[in-house]
Amino acid sequence: MTKKVLVVSHMYPSKINPQSGIFVHNQTKALQDAGCEVQVVVPIPRFPLYKKWKGYSDLQGQIDLDGIPVHYVPTWMFPGGFFFHRYGEFYIRSLKPILHQMKHEFPYELLHCHTIFPDGYAGGQLKEELGVPVISTIHGSDIMLYPKKSKKVYDRTIEALKTSDQLITVSDRLCSEVEQMVPRLPVSTIYNGFDPKRFYPIDQQEARHRLGIQLEGKQIVFIGNLLPVKGISYLVQAFRRLVQDEQHEGLNLYLVGAGPLQSSIEDEITKLGLTGRVHLMGRRPYDEMIHWMNSADVIALTSLSEGLPSILFESMGCGRPMVATDVGGIKEVLQDGVTGKLARPKDVEHISQCLHEILTMDDVREVLGKQAYVASRDFSLEQNANQLIERYEKIKTLTY
């Protein structure tokens, strides 16, 4: 059995952003629980005089996070994603010294990179001199969006796909995309997982009381980063249609998360006359998420693109139905009319209709929630880790 694994991921929790890449950290903990020795290397942004990234300068070095050694490595990056096609080279330049150093201090048997570019690209370029195979997990945007940025990003993504010894996608939809880009690669799907000990049903009123939010009335909850790809404006517009109906008197929408769209969302809320009905809660601690999910009558995810978001599994584990747009691999897990409702992306009317049906039919909402909870049992982090270890065993014998 593979004992020593080095994870490379620019998506990883830190004191600057405790929820960044929390799904990668959760998977890493599950691997450790399954018997692997795991350490993590995290490229963090470095760009002189850029105030938003100033806090990262205090991160460099090693910390212990839930018993896992995490090494933060300053890496040249540009605000706004400028020169993104160069990020692979920047990653190699920053990671190469520490990866060689760690090979002696922690003789890892393979690299597991999260996102195919730039992390997987760097791993693929360094694997021969490190003498270890590379496995890369594709999460969504790295195959669905980033390659469309430019031909240079596309070419580097193709190269990264070819140099990975094993490719993991978090949905069959992403697996198909990889096979279209480069046929006959060693690629397979391992669905994300969640921790049923952390996400489980609790009383709705208790959850709302713990959060200090309104106890009465129906509530829609969105959890995620406030980014264009999350399609939040479509959710806000759909919510406006709902509150114009007397059946939805007292309905509230809670947006839990932070990001660059916050000010524009605030402006839209004011413009649409939704002040006091749509609540921007900012970034909240991860330990609160169980309460936010259980406080909801329905959880909404109106993304324009996704791989397979962890919130889908977590909300199912809490026994809450979700209205999610039919993008990425969501429909592979969310069964329309069985565990939630699938809405057409960018379609305000259809999103509104799906939310309306769940909010106004109490018996349907209860059945959907119960069926979501039952279905969630197939997606534990323990199962996810065991499937990964099977892949590790297949490639660990490769030498360079």
pLDDT exceeds cutoff 90 at 55: no
Q: Distances from the Cα of 137 to the Cαs of 38, 115, 142, 391, in angstroms?
A: 16, 6, 10, 11
Strand order in the sheet with 322-325: 278-282, 252-256, 219-223, 298-301, 322-325, 340-343
pTM of the predicted model, to two decimals?
0.90
Any residues with CB less than 8 A from the CB of 305 and at least 6 apart, and which? 140, 141, 144, 145, 229, 327, 328
Q: Which of 134, 140, 48 is nearest to 95 (CA)?
A: 134
Query: One-letter amino acid identity for 242?
Result: L
Domains of the chain: 4-193+381-395 (3.40.50.2000), 204-376 (3.40.50.2000)
Q: CA 114, 26, 22 angle in degrees (round to 5)?
A: 70
Q: Give the pLDDT of residue 400.
A: 66
Query: What is the overall mean pLDDT for the chain?
Result: 94
pLDDT of residue 333 exceeding 90: yes
Give me the phi and psi of 297, to 5 degrees please.
-85, -30
Q: How far apart are CA 195 and CA 200, in angstroms?
A: 9
pLDDT single digits (tens) 364-378? 999 999 999 999 999
- The predicted model gives 103-107 an average pLDDT of 95
Q: What is the pLDDT of residues 156-214, one digit of tens each?
A: 999 999 999 999 999 999 999 999 999 999 999 999 999 999 999 999 999 999 999 99
Q: Residue 10 in contact with residue 40, Cβ under 8 Å? A: no
Q: What is the pLDDT of residue 399?
A: 63
pLDDT tops 80 at residue 355:
yes
- Band the pLDDT of 47: cuts 50, 70, 90: confident
Distance in angstroms (rounded) separating the CA atoms of residues 289 and 293: 6
Give pLDDT, residue 270.
96
Burial 382-393 (b: 16+ CB within 10 A, else e): eebbebbbebbe
DSSP class of residue 306?
-
Task: Please name the helix (run of DSSP H) or strand (run of DSSP E) that holds residue 379, with its range, or none.
Answer: none
Task: Work out the number of other CB atoms within 10 angstroms of the CB of residue 189.
Answer: 19
CA distance 111 to 127: 8
> In which residue are the tokens 């490229």 written?
43
- The string of DSSP codes covering 73-129 is EEEE--GGGTTGGGHHHHHHHHHHHHHHHHHHHS--SEEEEESIIIIIHHHHHHHHH
